[in-house]
Chain A
């Protein structure tokens, strides 16, 4: 039998950070914290052995630790972090976001410097509970982003219940978008919806120049992906900004 971990403190892990960039302003607007093994092993190797409900306890602890690590790597004044959250954990521990805000405050980071990312696949479980808790933390200034948007795990209807500050377009939609009419039409539709609701669009998983060119040409300005910067293990990576026309 495999021994299952049940003490969050006994787990060994660390973090990589990957920038989210605003191309027009040539700025890093945030760093997403990505969990890694203690020597940079994959997130999968850390999270895979964990089971519910223990994994939700870990999830909360990961955010606090990511904040602490990031605060030793950058100036709190210009630090903004994107932190992942499994919404189902909120059912067991509704204070989970509040505890993240507290962890940020410990290193003099305001709630406004935190964006909580939730994956589309997780959010649908109990939407009203999620919205209630998310709205509470919004009052404190925390922002929300929906990850993997368009992957088909949750409907577009989700946006009728909850309007995040940003959505991150699913990698699948972006890969080789310059050649796919349907994906282009989908992204244009999503842009239309997001513009009308004041939701920012982040194109994530951008790897090539043609992908970037198409997306930027359509007016997308926020990006994340290898094309700009790979995740940096225990560091906040710098970005080589592509030159864009004035």
Chain B
């Protein structure tokens, strides 16, 4: 025994399910569930399934893995799996309800939901009840999307040249494009600092703020110099590790000076703030940033949602963009918790007109999920790897979905 858990997932039916099909599915499921001591419920609304499985942790996981492979449904998203003190559906080897959208909406509190097997109001006021409510209000419904067409155009960036910078040996830059899939265009290149010999990310001396400031000022200058030499025609995204307020103004000035020297108008620059610690005086730093915004420079928050990079930053900096990284994007198509978090971020971003970039994208399935939620800015190996001291020559643009 590994303890009692429930697992709740949603999915989309891949074909029309007649009542007969469903009855057959359920008869088999009930028999098997009873033998596994698994209880729960299955809801089928206009092509979407929501299922609750309760039982011993290992048994539930094994059954879920089995069900997830069933080709009668797809887009299987685990919403939650957690230990529970007791079952919500102890009497039902698989409670079942099929309801139309109107019925679902018209039933206040989903009464008589289970067609005589029990009723919604009998449920413990825990997670299951809340999630059923969410489903009732339209959440977690997935439908099978139209298949995308099959040709995959690509766009070209300006040709790279091979003239390399000669200044300051230990570090140099790779460039990785950020793509707008709405108009299939590279909007910006992010300059990623790498060790010149190992070509791996550099490790900065975090304990010496003065050296770090110096390094940061030099690195922005270098990145812009290199980008200018490579003939960059898109925007340029520079990382800014935020760690001490009193250096902010100096660093910013160095960046502005370098931009002028290399002919970058401020509106081509995005400063991407990476917060690995809390600032002593964020309001002051925010005011420094606002001055640059006034000239057209864009402010973005990297790694949003991770570590110290939380909501308060939106309130403090009023950024133009936020970037979502690994921790939120990876396999989001099957991870309900990540989906819920990202939907919340998108809601906030939409209300405030903040751009959202999905970064570190590796799979088409990740892109598809973000596209279906309206995200159009992307970066990641799927589109183009970072190129050391070069601009990407080719960018993969996935096929556009039919709408």
Please pick, from A138, A154, A182, A193, the residue contacting B343 in the complex, using a CB distance under 8 A.
A193
Q: Which of A153, A170, A182 has the most CB of B within 10 A?
A: A182
Q: Which of B128, B139, B338, B347 has the most CB of A within 10 A?
A: B347
Please pick, from A160, A170, A181, the residue contacting B337 in the complex, using a CB distance under 8 A.
A160
Bound Cα distance from A178 to B403, whole angstroms: 38
Q: Is the CB of A153 within 8 A of B348?
A: no
Bound Cα distance from A124 to B276, whole angstroms: 13
Chain B residue with Cβ nearest A134:
B83
Q: How many residues from A make CB contacts under 8 Å with B?
A: 44
Residues on the A chain within 8 Å of B82, using CB: 135, 138, 163
Chain A residue with Cβ nearest B335:
A160
Kindly state whether residue B374 has any CB partner on chain A within 8 Å. Answer: no
User: Which secondary structure characterizes the binding site on chain B?
Assistant: helix
Kindly state whether residue B309 has any CB partner on chain A within 8 Å. Answer: yes
Chain A residue with Cβ nearest B353:
A185
Residues on the A chain within 8 Å of B344, using CB: 156, 189-194, 196
Contact with A along B282-320 (1 / 0, CB 8 A): 000000000000000000000011111111111100100
Q: Is the CB of B305 within 8 A of A155?
A: yes
Selected A-B contacts with CB under 8 Å, 7 pairs? A139-B83, A156-B304, A156-B306, A163-B82, A188-B348, A188-B351, A192-B344
For the complex formed, measure the closest distance between the CB of A219 and the CB atoms of chain B, giving whole angstroms: 11
Please pick, from B128, B315, B328, B336, the residue contacting A157 in the complex, using a CB distance under 8 A.
B328
Kindly state whether residue A152 has any CB partner on chain B within 8 Å. Answer: yes
Assess A138 versus B84: contact at CB under 8 Å? Given A152-B310, A159-B341: yes
Kindly state whether residue B3 has any CB partner on chain A within 8 Å. Answer: yes
For the complex formed, measure the closest distance between the CB of B318 and the CB atoms of chain A, giving whole angstroms: 6
The 6 residue pairs across chains A and B that have the minimum distance between CB atoms: A193-B344, A189-B348, A185-B351, A198-B130, A196-B340, A152-B310
Bound Cα distance from A157 to B344, whole angstroms: 12
Q: Is the CB of A141 within 8 A of B314?
A: no
Please pick, from A139, A153, A199, A200, the residue contacting B85 in the complex, using a CB distance under 8 A.
A139
For the complex formed, measure the closest distance between the CB of A213 and the CB atoms of chain B, giving whole angstroms: 19
Q: Is the CB of B335 within 8 A of A150?
A: no
For the complex formed, measure the closest distance between the CB of A94 and the CB atoms of chain B, giving whole angstroms: 16
Q: Is the CB of B306 within 8 A of A157?
A: yes
Bound Cα distance from A124 to B79, whole angstroms: 22
Given contacts A155-B306, A195-B139, 20 further A-B contacts (CB under 8 A): A141-B86, A152-B312, A153-B308, A159-B341, A160-B327, A160-B328, A160-B341, A163-B82, A181-B352, A185-B348, A186-B311, A188-B347, A189-B345, A189-B346, A189-B348, A192-B347, A195-B130, A195-B134, A196-B339, A200-B130
Assess A155 versus B79: contact at CB under 8 Å? Given A111-B85, A196-B140: no
Assess A156 versus B341: contact at CB under 8 Å? Given A135-B82, A192-B347: yes
Chain B residue with Cβ nearest A181:
B352
For the complex formed, measure the closest distance between the CB of B86 and the CB atoms of chain A, giving whole angstroms: 8
Interface residues of A in 162-212 (CB under 8 A from B): 163, 165, 170, 172-173, 180-186, 188-200
Kindly state whether residue B104 has any CB partner on chain A within 8 Å. Answer: no
For the complex formed, measure the closest distance between the CB of B273 and the CB atoms of chain A, giving whole angstroms: 13
User: Which secondary structure characterizes the binding site on chain A?
Assistant: helix
Residues on the B chain within 8 Å of A139, using CB: 3-4, 83-85
Bound Cα distance from A79 to B74, whole angstroms: 45
Kindly state whether residue A23 has any CB partner on chain B within 8 Å. Answer: no
A-B contacts at CB below 8 angstroms, number = 151
Bound Cα distance from A188 to B349, whole angstroms: 10
For the complex formed, measure the closest distance between the CB of A28 and the CB atoms of chain B, giving whole angstroms: 16
For the complex formed, measure the closest distance between the CB of A83 and the CB atoms of chain B, giving whole angstroms: 18
Please pick, from B85, B314, B343, the residue contacting A186 in the complex, using a CB distance under 8 A.
B314
For the complex formed, measure the closest distance between the CB of A151 and the CB atoms of chain B, giving whole angstroms: 6
Q: Is the CB of B340 within 8 A of A152?
A: no
Q: Is the CB of B315 within 8 A of A180?
A: yes
Bound Cα distance from A163 to B86, whole angstroms: 18
Kindly state whether residue B278 has any CB partner on chain A within 8 Å. Answer: yes
Assess A140 versus B85: contact at CB under 8 Å? Given A190-B344, A197-B80: yes
Please pick, from A138, A183, A192, A196, the residue contacting B315 in the complex, using a CB distance under 8 A.
A183
Kindly state whether residue A136 has any CB partner on chain B within 8 Å. Answer: yes
Contact with A along B1-31 (1 / 0, CB 8 A): 0011000000000000000000000000000
Kindly state whether residue B127 has any CB partner on chain A within 8 Å. Answer: yes
Kindly state whether residue B131 has any CB partner on chain A within 8 Å. Answer: yes
Assess A141 versus B339: contact at CB under 8 Å? Given A156-B311, A182-B315, A185-B352: no
Contact with B along A24-44 (1 / 0, CB 8 A): 000000000000000000000
Bound Cα distance from A172 to B341, whole angstroms: 20
Q: Is the CB of B343 within 8 A of A196?
A: yes
For the complex formed, measure the closest distance between the CB of A172 and the CB atoms of chain B, giving whole angstroms: 7
For the complex formed, measure the closest distance between the CB of A145 and the CB atoms of chain B, giving whole angstroms: 14
For the complex formed, measure the closest distance between the CB of A242 and the CB atoms of chain B, giving whole angstroms: 23
Q: Is the CB of A152 within 8 A of B308?
A: yes
Interface residues of A in 90-143 (CB under 8 A from B): 111-112, 124, 135-136, 138-141
Bound Cα distance from A196 to B342, whole angstroms: 11
Q: Is the CB of B340 within 8 A of A193?
A: yes
Q: Is the CB of B134 within 8 A of A196?
A: yes
For the complex formed, measure the closest distance between the CB of A224 and the CB atoms of chain B, giving whole angstroms: 19
Q: Which of B79, B126, B139, B348 has the most CB of A within 10 A?
A: B348
Interface residues of B in 70-93 (CB under 8 A from A): 79-80, 82-86
